[in-house]
């Protein structure tokens, strides 16, 4: 029975007794048991789904092949990968249980009943796995994984089936039953051998004990902060992290609830249902322009570089337009340095880079105005003119070298 911190909800019988003893008692809303609490439970479970998609979307900051996170489109969320061979998808379903010591059973996951009788019928079609298996059937080789994430454990018989699907064996107690159910529910696969069925559904993955799916907020916020720092070098205070993750979850909620109309183009669908890198950059206040400049210039850590440049320069009151322009200077320096560094005597190059590093430290400490920085660049230009292999370097590239040292120093 639901309780409040003040008193136990009053039952209908207790109300009758109270009225029998005479007197009129005006009840408060907390004294009567609610007719239903289904809506609250549904909201809680949706929030777990949103948290999972939000944390997954931070992977967009990694220099990987993850391209989009689709929210509540085909499944709870879908991860799109872009590789030289084309697009592929990972479909994720999120299921939570408020009782931490419970385990998902074969019936809940696969629709398979443990107690087998002669007339036993199973129900793969409406089970958790059955719905995920539809993606394998519908998308074929472009479906690289179907994943079931939860905050609790799975029954050992469920784990045995997952292992058999992954390894191609049939050791599990209910694996043969699942194969039969697959053939019954997916007619176009009915002619396949048992081994071929196991291979066809080998991308099925269970992800148990994901603590971010619990009601407690701390694990989710901590993991989000860790990912943000890992990919961007941004140190955030607890209130800043909390604000960002709330905004990110709100973005997932918005993407999950936008109306999808028949006939929408791929671009329109992506706009209303998918999260892309530019969305995450915007949440973290990282200039997309600076990032694109650095990435196109070959910077493998373009997000970290853009983050460090923007954070350091705006702290010294430089405008965002200046940040974007400086990103271009750094990119120009990187391109020049990759080609020319081998033509410069080692000792002289070491001395020059140390001089550039000294200027970068002043800039990092907020001790240089735009005019001060220009004067420092002039000094470095004069010094570079005396070094073989550096006589033709431009002032913009000199400044780019200072910014490269700034990024390198701040990223250590």
How does strand 143-150 pair with strand 204-207? parallel
Question: Is residue 317 in a domain?
Answer: yes
Q: What is the pLDDT of residue 36?
A: 60
With H, G, I as helix, E, B as strand and everything else as coil, classify residue 341.
Answer: helix
**Higher per-residue confidence, 115 vs 375:** 375
Q: What is the pLDDT of residue 40?
A: 64
With H, G, I as helix, E, B as strand and everything else as coil, classify residue 318.
Answer: coil
Q: What is the pLDDT of residue 27?
A: 81
Question: Is residue 183 in a domain?
Answer: no
What's the whole-number mean pLDDT along residues 45-74? 93
pLDDT band with cut points at 50, 70 and 90 for residue 4: very low
Whose CA is closest to 290, among 264, 273, 268, 313?
Answer: 313
Q: Over the stretch 101-142, which tens digit does the pLDDT of each residue have?
A: 999 999 999 999 988 777 778 999 999 999 999 999 999 999
Question: Is residue 6 in a domain?
Answer: yes
What are the start-end ranges of the H helices in 58-148? 106-110, 128-139
**Higher per-residue confidence, 142 vs 35:** 142
- Is the pLDDT reported for residue 361 higher than 70? yes
- Is the pLDDT reported for residue 2 higher than 50? no
Question: Is residue 201 in a domain?
Answer: no
Task: Report percent pLDDT > 90 for the chain.
Answer: 77
Return d(Cα 152, Cα 358) in angstroms, integer.
53
Q: What is the pLDDT of residue 37?
A: 59
- Is the pLDDT reported for residue 57 higher than 80? yes
Q: Over the stretch 322-331, which tens digit does the pLDDT of each residue have?
A: 999 999 999 9
- How many beta carbons lie within 10 A of that of residue 56, not counting itself? 21
Return d(Cα 286, Cα 302) in angstroms, integer.
11
Q: What is the pLDDT of residue 117?
A: 73
Q: What is the pLDDT of residue 215?
A: 87
Question: Is residue 107 in a domain?
Answer: no
Query: Which residues, in sequence order, are bridge partners of residue 87?
Result: 82
Whose CA is closest to 279, among 69, 15, 118?
Answer: 69
Q: CB pairs under 8 A, 24+ apart, for 58-66?
A: 58/224, 58/227, 58/228, 58/231, 58/248, 58/280, 59/227, 60/275, 60/276, 60/277, 60/280, 61/227, 61/228, 61/231, 61/232, 61/277, 61/280, 61/303, 62/231, 63/300, 63/301, 63/302, 63/303
- Is the pLDDT reported for residue 10 higher than 60? no
Q: Report DSSP state, residue 288.
A: H
Return d(Cα 346, Cα 352) in angstroms, integer.
10
Q: What is the pLDDT of residue 230?
A: 87
Return d(Cα 394, Cα 374) in angstroms, integer.
13
| pTM of the predicted model as reported, rounded to 2 decimal places | 0.83
Question: Is residue 368 in a domain?
Answer: yes
Return d(Cα 249, Cα 375) in angstroms, integer.
46
Question: Is residue 163 in a domain?
Answer: no
pLDDT band with cut points at 50, 70 and 90 for residue 22: low
Contacts of 197 (CB under 8 A, 6+ apart): 179, 182, 183, 189
Question: Is residue 209 in a domain?
Answer: no
The angle at the Cα of 334, spanning 66 to 283, to the nearest 5 degrees, equals 40
Structural domain boundaries, residue 340: 288-410
Give the total number of structural domains in the chain.
Answer: 2
- Is the pLDDT reported for residue 238 higher than 50? yes
């Amino acid at each position: 029975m639901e309780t409040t911190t003040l008193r136990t909800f009053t039952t209908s019988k207790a109300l009758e007794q109270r009225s029998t003893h005479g007197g009129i008692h005006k009840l408060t809303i907390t004294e009567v048991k609610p007719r239903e609490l289904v809506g609250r439970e549904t909201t809680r479970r949706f929030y777990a789904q949103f948290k999972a998609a939000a944390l997954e979307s931070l992977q967009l900051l990694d220099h990987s092949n993850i391209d989009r996170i689709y929210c509540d489109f085909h499944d709870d969320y879908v991860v799109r990968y872009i590789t030289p061979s084309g697009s592929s998808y990972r479909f994720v379903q999120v299921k939570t249980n408020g009782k931490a010591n419970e385990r998902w059973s074969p019936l809940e996951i696969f629709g398979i009943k443990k107690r087998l009788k002669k007339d036993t019928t199973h129900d793969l079609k409406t089970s958790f796995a059955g719905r995920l298996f539809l993606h394998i059937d519908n998308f074929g080789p472009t479906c690289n994984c179907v994943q079931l994430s939860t905050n609790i454990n799975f029954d050992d018989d469920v784990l045995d089936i997952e292992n058999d699907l992954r390894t191609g064996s049939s050791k599990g107690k209910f694996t043969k039953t699942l194969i039969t159910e697959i053939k019954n529910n997916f007619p176009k696969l009915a002619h396949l051998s048992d081994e071929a069925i196991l291979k066809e559904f080998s991308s099925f993955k269970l992800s148990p004990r994901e603590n971010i799916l619990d009601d407690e907020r701390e694990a989710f916020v901590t993991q989000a902060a860790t990912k943000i720092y890992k990919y961007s070098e941004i140190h955030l205070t607890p209130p800043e992290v909390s604000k960002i993750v709330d905004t990110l979850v709100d973005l997932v909620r918005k993407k999950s609830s936008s109306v999808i109309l028949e006939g929408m183009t791929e671009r329109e669908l992506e706009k209303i249902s998918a999260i892309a890198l530019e969305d995450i950059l915007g949440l973290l206040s990282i200039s997309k322009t600076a990032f694109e400049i650095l990435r196109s210039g070959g910077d493998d850590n373009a997000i970290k570089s853009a983050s460090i440049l923007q954070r350091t320069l705006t702290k010294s009151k430089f405008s965002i337009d200046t940040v974007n322009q400086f990103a271009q200077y750094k990119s120009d320096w990187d391109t020049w340095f990759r080609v020319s560094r081998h033509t410069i005597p080692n000792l002289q190059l070491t001395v020059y880079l140390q001089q550039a590093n000294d200027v970068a430290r002043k800039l990092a400490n907020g001790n240089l105005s735009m005019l001060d920085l220009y004067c420092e660049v002039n000094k470095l230009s004069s010094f570079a003119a005396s070094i073989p292999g550096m006589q033709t370097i431009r002032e913009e590239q000199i400044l780019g070298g200072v910014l490269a040292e700034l990024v390198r120093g701040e990223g250590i």
